[in-house]
Amino acid sequence: MSERICEGKVALVTGASQGGTGTAIAVRLAAEGAKVAITARTVAGLEETRSRIEELGGECLVLPLDLSDPTAGRAGLVAATEDAFGPLDILVNNAAVNGYVPFTEVTPEDLERNLQVNVWAPWELMKAAVPGMRERGRGAVLNLTSFAAELPPGPPFPTNKPATGGFQYGASKAALNRLTVAAASETHGQGIAVNALTPQAAIATPALVEAGWIKGPMFEPLETMAEAALALCTGDPDMLTGRIAFSLQLLVELQRPVLDLHGEALVEGWQPADIPAVIRRQEADLAESGWPDAYTFGRPHSPLP
């Protein structure tokens, strides 16, 4: 077996109980040799993830906790991980609350929950993790973000989500993006990478597949997200930091082979040579709903005089 790139490292992954992105990233890190602590509310789901990691011969610590509750002790997750496994090398803030309703229908409770899980919890965990990373001169923080944070072009405005009905989710993820870049700038040159990762399209999680939402070109497999996450968590921190990276575009930029979650086999149809055609199909689909050139991530504005 070739040397595993996370051998001897310790990781903490939030939101790893539903078999989706957090689970995939936790398993992929473990397959590369990391000891992984996982947290979420659902104990049964966390135990399923732990079983998958242990089947690979990895070590996993289950830390059940409700990240939406600021009094539940979320800032102590880093210390609990380090007590069990040693100094933390990788923090992945994946847990999220979403929701798409008109802004006039958002309740204070909805907004509070989005902000607590999507902004406050990552911020507190980063504050707990970064000082130790600074002392050791190494570390990586990855925040999972969303296309919903992008500003839809208009008028006329796109007719699809997240252009419509995504205020509270998009606003919280936009704040997370700003936090990411701030932390990257404040830790640059200290051996720490801080990045955010956005799925290029809907991730084919078990829940979405079962609900029948994965149709047409607007999806990507869990493996592309896990591979992009691994790249951002193990890249050169002097160069690959401060990114709000879009998964498929990042994989093409880095010419990164996409492996299965065990790190053993290439995923057919999702290699760097395959992905540009996928992105073009996704762009065309978004353009049909009124969001042209969606992946240029630009917005018309008044020109510089």
Task: Give me the helices (H) in the chain, please.
Answer: 21-31, 43-55, 77-85, 108-115, 121-136, 167-187, 206-211, 222-234, 247-254, 275-288
Q: Which helix (H) or strand (E) holds 38?
A: strand 35-40
Structure tokens at 219: 């999806």
Active-site residue 100, yes or no?
Answer: no
Radius of gyration of the chain (CA): 19
Distance (Å, whole) CA 46 – CA 50: 6
Q: pLDDT by residue for the chain (305 residues), tens digit each?
A: 468 999 999 999 999 999 999 999 999 999 999 999 999 999 999 999 999 999 999 999 999 999 999 999 999 999 999 999 999 999 999 999 988 899 999 999 999 999 999 999 999 999 999 999 999 999 999 999 999 999 988 889 998 888 888 899 999 999 999 999 999 999 999 999 999 999 998 898 887 787 777 777 889 999 999 999 999 999 999 999 999 999 999 999 999 999 999 999 999 999 999 999 999 999 999 999 999 989 988 766 778 78
Instruction: Count the alpha carbons within 13 Å of 305 in the hemisphere toward its beta carbon.
Output: 0
Structure tokens at 270: 């999702």
In degrees, to the nearest 5, what angle opens at C-alpha 8 toward C-alphas 91 and 188?
45
Q: Indicate the DSSP class of residue 119.
A: I
* Type of residue found at 156: P
Distance (Å, whole) CA 7 – CA 89: 11
**Fold (topology level) of 10-296:** Rossmann fold (3.40.50)
Q: How confident is the model at residue 213, as a pLDDT?
A: 73
Q: Indicate the DSSP class of residue 27.
A: H
Task: Give the active site residue among 85, 120, 167, 169.
Answer: 169
